[in-house]
Amino acid sequence: MLQHLSPDVRQYLLVTGNYWAFTLTDGALRMLVVLHFHQLGYSPLQVALLFLFYEIFGVITNLVGGWLGARIGLNRTMHIGLGLQVVALCMLLVPAAWLTLAWVMAAQALSGVAKDLNKMSAKSSIKLLLPDDQQGALFRWVAALTGSKNALKGVGFFLGGALLTLVGFAPAIASMAAMLALVWLLSLLLMRGDFGKASTAPKFRQVFSMSRAINRLSAARMFLFGARDVWFVVALPVFLSDVLRWDFWQVGGFMATWVIGYGLVQGLAPYFTSRRGAPVPDGRAALAWASVLAFVPALMAWLLVTGQDPQTVVIVGLAIFGVLFAINSSLHSYLIVSYAGRDGVSLDVGFYYMANAMGRLLGTLLSGWVYQGWGLAACLAVSALLIGMAALVSTRLPRRVSTAQ
């Protein structure tokens, strides 16, 4: 079937398929690590520290990975990422006595490198398949990729919680490592060429963007994803398990449903943000949607502090937050691909996702620290503050989309 498609489309479908397979294991691994080590008695802050290197190395990888992709091609960076994730999973198959905080942090560091190499490769590929004058199609393609990825990550959350309940930690990790190793081997056989390689080898100093639009969008992205992860990474699963007394499969199922719904809304974002025939979104849209989003966690924090039913507040509030956050995220994902230069696109995309990883790092650390000290309401209040910062930065985004040179 693939042989009947054009070479570029066939190449992109293979990249996307690899990205989907990776995303499934990444989501499951996140849920397995949070729930398993919390069950072993780790505090919320210690659980957050397990992901510290994951996020730190995500920052480094996006910065270096964009340069690497421009030099050696996006196919090769994708394969490096898949291989590293298999190694990271295998590191967690050692005897239980070896699973110290330092060892798990090292495995998560390797997984963070792998994840961001894959993300950068997949997102950069879209820019090369469409001409610059097809901005509407570009928005739809980016939204579809981003939405489908997050929907699969949600499936991974459910899979992780279910596997931990049904077969335990080690068998779950082993099955995921075997599946991803098979995908990696098939990818090595089917993918060829130097897709995404820049026409001239970029110098390393070019990893830092000189575009004001990209720098401002990157700053807004950092605050936006810090606002999500300050409650999502550690605070929410621990709150559901400890305060609401949910079982592991219920925690995994709720977070999976949230992320799947979030991904579906991301895929439909073009239909929410622009009417047929209307101009594609620009900086004004990013500002408007961020301003609306900031209101939701602020209201949730107030409701929890005033003693409203926490289960209702969390379920309803986070459903609304998920819809609005998905639209914000999809807008940002489109704007970076649109702003990025065509030759060596991975440099601009890598810099932007470096800022994304910095936001996740900030949110992860705050999630464990703030929740342990002050609870979920405080995490939501910090979330509202960070979204407000994203909106403030968005006031300086370009009013019309244009391709960065």
Task: Provide the residue count of the chain.
Answer: 405
Please determine, for residue 186, whether its predicted confidence score (pLDDT) is greater than 90: no
Please state the three-class secondary structure of the chain as a single string. Answer: CHHHCCHHHHHHHHHHHHHHHHHHHHHHHHHHHHHHHHHCCCCHHHHHHHCHHHHHHHHHHHHHHHHHHHHHCHHHHHHHHHHHHHHHHHHCCCCHHHCCHHHHHHHHHHHHHHHHHHHHHHHHHHHCCCCCCCHHHHHHHHHHHHHHHHHHHHHHHHHHHHHHHHCCHHHHHHHHHHHHHHHHHHHHHHCCCCCCCCCCCCCHHHHCCCCHHHHHHHHHHHHHHHHHHHHHCCHHHHHHHHCCCCCHHHHHHHHHHHHHHHHHHHHHHHHHHCCCCCCCCCHHHHHHHHHHHHHHHHHHHHHHHCCCCHHHHHHHHHHHHHHHHHHHHHHHHHHHHHHCCCCCHHHHHHHHHHHHHHHHHHHHHHHHHHHHHHCHHHHHHHHHHHHHHHHHHHCCCCCCCCCCC
pLDDT digits (tens, 9 = 90+) for 92-148: 998 888 888 788 888 988 988 888 888 777 767 666 665 655 666 666 767 777 777
Residue written as token pair 């957050």: 48
Note the pLDDT of residue 276: 53
pLDDT confidence band for 375 (50 / 70 / 90) = very high
| Spatial distance between the Cα atoms of 264 and 241, rounded to a whole number of angstroms | 26
How would you class 41 by CB atoms within 10 Å of its CB: exposed for 0-12, middle for 13-18, buried for 19 or more?
exposed
> For residue 375, how many other CB atoms are within 10 A of its CB?
16
Helix (H, G, I), strand (E, B), or coil: what is residue 397? coil
Q: Shortest CA distance to 326 belongs to which of 385, 371, 271?
A: 271
Q: Is the pLDDT of residue 402 over 60?
A: no
The reply to whether the predicted model has a pTM over 0.85 is no
Q: What is the pLDDT of residues 38-60, one digit of tens each?
A: 788 877 777 777 777 887 887 88
Q: Please report the pLDDT score of residue 322 as a whole number.
A: 92
Q: How confident is the model at residue 401 (pLDDT cuts 50, 70, 90)?
A: very low
* Residues 238, 396: Cα–Cα separation, whole Å: 37
Strongest mean pLDDT among 188-192, 222-226, 362-366: 222-226
Residue 192 pLDDT class (50, 70, 90 cuts): low
What distances in angstroms separate CA 59 from CA 53, 55, 315, 357, one per listed residue? 10, 6, 31, 5
pLDDT over 60 at 207, yes or no: no
Query: Residue 3 pLDDT more than 60?
Result: no
Amino acid at 161: G
Helix (H, G, I), strand (E, B) or coil at 210: coil
The pLDDT value given to residue 404 = 40
Q: What single letter denotes the amino acid at residue 53?
A: F
Task: Provide the pLDDT confidence category of residue 257 given band limits of 50, 70 and 90.
Answer: confident
Domain covering 2-394: architecture: Up-down Bundle (1.20)
- Within 306-395, where are the H helices? 310-339, 345-374, 376-394
Q: Scanning the structure block, which residue is given the tokens 């620290």?
A: 369
Q: Where in the chain are the domains?
A: 2-394
By the 8 A CB rule, do 22 and 85 touch?
Answer: yes
Minimum mean pLDDT range among 5-14, 176-185, 285-294, 375-384: 5-14
